[in-house]
Structure 1
Amino acid sequence: MRRSRRLRRSPGRWRRVRDSSDDGSILDLPGDTWLKFHPAGDQRTTRHLPEFCIAGGDDPESKPHAGQILSPPLESVTVDNVHRYLELVRTQLATTLWPLPEHAHARTVAQHCIDIADGIAARTRTAPEIDAKTFAAYTNLLPELTDALDRRGRIELSRAITERAQTEADLPALRTLICDAVQALFSSSPDTTDTTLLIDILRVERETSQAIHEAVNRTVETSEATSEQTDVHDPLTTYLQRHPHEQGQCTIDAITEIPGGYSKKTYLVELHGSSWLPDRVIVRSEKQFNVLGTSLETEYLTLQVVADAGLPVATPYHLETDPTILGGPFALFQWIEGSIIGDIDTVRAPSETFGRSMARAMAQLHSLPTTDVPTSTEAPVAPSRQMAELLDTYRRKWESTGIVSPAVQLAYDWLESACPLLDGHIGLVHCDLGCHNLLVAPDGEVAAILDWEMAKIGNPAQDLGYFYYTAVQLLPWDDFLAAYEAEGGTVPSRLEISFFRLWRELWRLTNISHAKRVIEAGEADDIGLARASICKVDELAARVEGLLMEILQPAHTPAR
């Protein structure tokens, strides 16, 4: 077998990994298994969208026919449950890229598939070295940790950690014991020494998460291309033409899927000839695997209330609850002119005007009367109780993944202990504010706040905590809070905002980790979730760990 030679890939180009006339890409996996992405046709097409073959065996020099998919011998592959991911990649490439569609959705799927393969390879390649460093770091903390446990009478746990650290470098087993130690320290009113030790443990975990994320991030690309999708064209056309309000001959000129969203699909639909709808509408439909468990019907009813109050949102036109038409309930909304200037984490075009406009919109939202807002319960629930129930649900969701993390356990413990902080000001909260859910008008003002699937009656600190990462890229945080307060908003305590900054990242980490479990079990086939579970999970873990370190610092007080 000729050895592969890996070269770095330029942004936007497929990676060449060996000298060969066919410019194929080979991913070597454990157990003499390999994955081959083979571009067919003219080399000039490979920078846009090549056709791919995935082949396997003991001869990577073989060149399968374009469009053919051969299954690698994956039985021996156990690292990171590679088998299920490669099965998903094969399926996605087969159903999406043959015959070759001429739209950006296929490029997005192809890039996601390559990112998954590259991410698995990076994790597999770097795991032994990173695990060894983590084990050594925990060994260095052993004297302080065992002393703290001994002072609390946890002699057996102290002895078990010592024996595990001295006998063999089994990081998963040691990490399980560290989780027990963290719980023992936090549940017994930790003093300054104990808090310092907890921060040291979090530092070890954060350095591990950052190292894995950096290794994966060096090999994958971020695709932000708008993805065109046509699988809803015919059923949506038939539905609209047969709708009782339709008096004309409605046809669909184009459908473009807007990327993002783990539980809903969003489409820009261009119409022609409709008697009751404008030429452009937004269609949101529930995915079959709804990772968030949210209801489109509740979102629709909430938007009716918010639109009537004059907030910058898309006017709701129509709700269809029949799941058989598009694979899930769907709704039609107003299309609004505007641009998206970033994603959930970053702002590509910072603007103080936009920041102050958001402060004004959030203050207006949080001041709305809550009596007409639809909820999932008969009466509004106190934020502390609401959050405690949510944390219990998500802790069990996390535990179902089988992942052992001292930081995640401590995060849930701390959040549960801090729930009484939340019963202050109550209002309608969006619960997912960021550039991925905002449209910006040409004058820099907020054109529309999108995606209301998680809106509820709760503590406005949740929106402020969630929007913190976006706000600080637009203007200083104190200036944003001052603008929010000047528009009638009630500024929560610093600790309330930190609570929701932490919960935002823990919520995302738990959902993506849970998605990883269901993908590996064959219960879901969302390629975007699959990519996130390989390429995003360690970045989120590092954020949780870093935020906990910040919160546990003695200087972190409830003051604004």
Structure 2
Amino acid sequence: MHHGQAYLTREIEAVSWLLRNTVDVLQTSIRPALTGLPAAHATRCVEVLAAAVDQLVRLAETGGERPAFAALADELADVDRVEERLAAVKAPPEQQQAPAAGEGAPTRIGLDAETLEAYLREHPGGGANLRLRHLERMSGGRSKSTYALTVAGAADLPGDLVIRKDQETLLNNTSVVSEAKLLERLHRAGMKVPQPFHLESDPGRLGSPFLILERLRGTTAGEVFDPPRNERLALALAEQVGLLHSIDVGTLADDPFLVTKDVTGDQLREQLAAFRATVDEFSEPYPSVLGALEWLDEHVRDFYEEVRLVHGDLGFHNVLAEGDELTAVLDWELASLGHPARDLGYLRSTIEMMTDWDKFLDVYHASGGVRCDPYAVDFYMLFSSVWLYQHLARSGQMRLKWDARNIEYAISFAVLGPNMRYRLARQLGGVLARY
């Protein structure tokens, strides 16, 4: 197949997948909450989007060629196929056929309320009198599923809880199992993190490992590329990052999940080679991405002089806030022992949308943060951006391949991936001007 035609086919498949995700949300979340004319309009939207998906699928299959029917029977058979495809697109996710089992196919994992209530009654903090009053899947969460629940009559558990549950770990190889012990330590150290109450590592109980946590006040403060324009929150996060980087790593030696990574020249070269392989397989050859990889390859050095506990995915998509108050730093699945500039570099573009970078660093240093070489911050800024871009590219293509139905996956593919490339292009331009 000609390269241009192959590219067009991939793009058509991607748009079809995005539209199917949108149909799912209309069918399962929006339309049931509507009545009257809005409900009728939602139904019309589903019909139109399903038709658009079918047209795109036909274009991908035929390469844009006009269908040719030798006889009426051929055309009627084609009509039947169209109706079957339209019905499949419009069917709610629970009625859709799951992907065939096989290498790489994700497991679709939900949470059954009755099974959860029975489990909590067995828990010492729950007890026989516990009743599950409310269970709701929360928005966000692209590698874990998060549920808010309210219970009554519990022996010791608070009434408002959160369950963070493994969803698929094939794409970033993380599990809530690694978070429980670390969260306990961070909570004792006075950081604003949810207190863990119980870890269940047996996937047989509710379909996958899960962690029961304290439910803290506040809502997600922002998105990866759209932080709140609030200086107080930026400086509050600076304080939390300073506290994190002030923790004595010697006290963490007994945690088997906290490994030292991305600090030696050899570790960084190995990661960069893996990044390049992923980009070659799952991304178009954008100058910004390839240029960043080339700059990083040329400027690798050992950064082992500073090793601290780092979060690995710091941003306001992983922060809860209530007004001007930061109430929690969430999602510690990527925590490791690494250079503190890893977190600072990851954060810099976000913070500069909220306040002056030097003002952020002043609060960070006053809270126990490390004084990092600006060169190291620039290196890890590009390194973290390439890491996130290649992860989004790979995970997006794999979820498209699996036809994974989740609007968060669709957003990652359609919005976060391109935006990460735009950010990386701006960052690379700044770094090239400085060195």
TM-score by length of 1: 0.59
Is residue 498 of structure 1 aligned with residue 383 of structure 2? no
Q: Report the Cα offset of residue 74 of structure 1.
A: 2.9
Aligned to 2:104: none
What is the SS of the residue equivalent to 1:276?
coil
Correspondent of 2:141 among 261, 279, 285? 261
Is residue 422 from structure 1 mapped to residue 303 from structure 2 by the alignment?
A: yes
1:74 aligns with 2:68: no
Matched AA of 1:403: E
**Distance between the aligned counterparts of 1:53 and 1:97, measured in 2?**
19
Tell me the distance in 2 between the aligned counterparts of 1:363 and 1:381.
20
Map 1:124-523 → 2, pairs under 5 A:
231-288=111-168, 290-348=170-228, 350-373=229-252, 380=260, 383-384=263-264, 385-401=266-282, 403-420=284-301, 422-441=303-322, 444-522=324-402
Name the CA distance, whole Å, in 2 between partners of 1:483 and 1:408: 32
Contact 2:275 2:386 in 1 (8 A): no
User: Which letter maps to 2:309?
Assistant: L
Partners in 2 of 1:91 and 1:316 — Cα distance?
Answer: 41
Separation in 2 of the partners of 1:78 and 1:501? 41
Q: Which has the larger radius of gyration?
A: 1
Q: For residue 434 of structure 1, what is the amino acid of its counterpart?
A: G
Amino acid of the residue matched to residue 414 of structure 1?
W
Q: Is the 8 A contact 1:305 1:372 kept in 2?
A: no
- Classify 1:50/1:371 alpha carbon distance in 2 versus 1 (closer, same or farther; 3 Å): farther
Match for residue 53 of structure 1 among 41, 47, 67: 47
Deviations 1:160-218 (A, max 9, x none): xxxxxxxxxxxxxxxxxxxxxxxxxxxxxxxxxxxxxxxxxxxxxxxxxxxxxxxxxxx
CA offsets per residue over residues 536-557 of structure 1, 9 Å max, x none? 432222222222122112xx15
Question: Do the aligned partners of 1:283 and 1:332 also contact (CA within 8 Å) in 2?
Answer: yes
Pair 1:469–1:408, CA change in 2 (3 A): closer
Cross-structure match for 2:92: 95
* TM-score, normalization by structure 2: 0.75
Partner Cα separation in structure 2 for residue 341 and residue 517 of structure 1 = 28
Q: How far apart are the structure 2 equivalents of 1:89 and 1:481?
A: 54
Q: Secondary structure at the match of 2:57?
A: coil
Name stretches of at least 5 consecutive residues in structure 2 with no aligned partner: 1-11, 64-83, 96-108
Deviations 1:134-176 (A, max 9, x none): xxxxxxxxxxxxxxxxxxxxxxxxxxxxxxxxxxxxxxxxxxx
Q: Distance in 1 between matches of 2:136 and 2:175?
A: 23
Kindly tell me: are residues 339 and 402 of structure 1, through their superposed partners in 2, closer, same or farther at Cα, counting changes over 3 Å? closer
Q: 1:105-128, CA deviations, whole angstroms, 9 ceiling, x for partnerless residues? A: xxxxxxxxxxxxxxxxxxxxxxxx
Aligned partners of 1:288 and 1:328 also within 8 Å? no
Q: Which has the higher helix share?
A: 2
Unaligned runs of 5+ in 1: 1-28, 61-69, 81-86, 99-228
Q: Does the 8 Å contact 1:345/1:434 carry over to 2?
A: no
Q: Who is 2:429 aligned against?
A: 549
Partner AA of 1:322 in structure 2: D
Instruction: Give, in whole Å, the separation in 2 of the partners of 1:281 and 1:263.
Output: 20
Contact 1:294 1:454 in 2 (8 A): yes
Using a 3 Å threshold, how does the CA distance of structure 1 residues 73 and 482 change in structure 2: closer, same or farther? Answer: closer
2-structure distance, mates of 1:247, 1:56: 47
Would the alpha carbon gap of residues 376 and 92 (structure 1) be closer, same or farther in structure 2, given more than 3 Å must change? Answer: farther
Change (3 A) 1:325 1:94: farther
CA distance, structure 2, for counterparts of residue 89 and residue 259 of structure 1: 27
**8 A contact 1:512–1:533 mirrored in 2:** yes
Identity of aligned residues (%): 25
Q: Is the 8 A contact 1:265 1:285 kept in 2?
A: yes
| TM-superposed deviation, 1:252 | 1.6
SS of the aligned residue for 2:285 comes to coil
Deviations 1:427-476 (A, max 9, x none): 1111111111112245x343211111111111111111222233223321
